[in-house]
Amino acid sequence: MEAVAVHPLTTLKVGEILRDVLPPGVLNVVSGDAGLGPRMTEHPGIDMISYTGSTRTGRQVMAGAAPTLTRVTLELGGNDPAIVLPDVDVPAVAEKLFWGAFANSGQVCLAIKRLYIHRDVYEPLKQALAAYAGTVRMGPGTEAGVRLGPVQNRPQYDRILDLLDDSRAHGHSFAIGGHPQGQGQDSPGYSVPLTLVDNPRRTRASSRRSSSVRSCRSSGSTTSRTPSPGPTRASTDSARPSGRPTRKRPWPSADAWRRARCGSTRSSTSPRTSPSRATSSPASAPRAGPRA
């Protein structure tokens, strides 16, 4: 297991805890600079690589593993959405959505980055999220009562500021946050206020890019809970010559798909042959000779 260069202590602590639980050699934790990853992916003694992170780095992992044909499992570029339907309990779901997006200051790969909220509850839920965010204290983790701390490193902090600048440049409104105080190279720390972008355009960078940071986007949706009809086969009347009848056939059943993929378990007979002709009568069937 590779400990991330910008925050290795947690992974090293996990290795220390498991050292007395697992047999020797089952888990090895290594730490180093940015050059450690390429050395691991190119090493012929590693049979499989699992990586979670950006798409750009995932390409480098695949390229490094290609010469030795090392197997890889990649989880890349997450931009996780949450979909809110109109029958929710708004006060109860607001708190759950908040921590789903902002736990650990949003620095979790599976954190919610986008909210798609039904229009019937969009405004009440947006207000509930903003109100709850106002009750969450931010600051240094060593202080009592603080529930959210700063961003972990400078590159990630600068990336957040770029996303916020992009949102402001495109005229987005903010339900909360959006304007860090003292931002820039001379800022005293990497603190960014909780930010909820109100209904941004989906084509913008703030909606397309995975942030893994302390910001979240919300969008009004007209999706209802009306169930969609089952799959139907499109009619091909327009493609047939005039005068020819068109028969609309239903989708094949699960049994039909199974027979098509795996073969029938019955003996093969011609569809034009009746069962009586395909099966020999007991009187005409040849008798088996004596066994040796």
CB-based contact 91:194 (threshold 8 Å)? no
CA distance 94 to 100: 10
Q: Which sign does the torsion angle of CA 269, 271, 273, 274 carry?
A: positive
Element (H, E) at 217: strand 215-221
Dihedral over alpha carbons 14, 20, 26, 32 (to 10 degrees): 40
Active site residues: 75, 109
Closest by Cα among 146, 153, 182, 177 to 163: 177
Query: Cβ distance 115 to 216 under 8 Å?
Result: yes
Residue 96: what are its φ and ψ, rounded to 5°? -65, -40
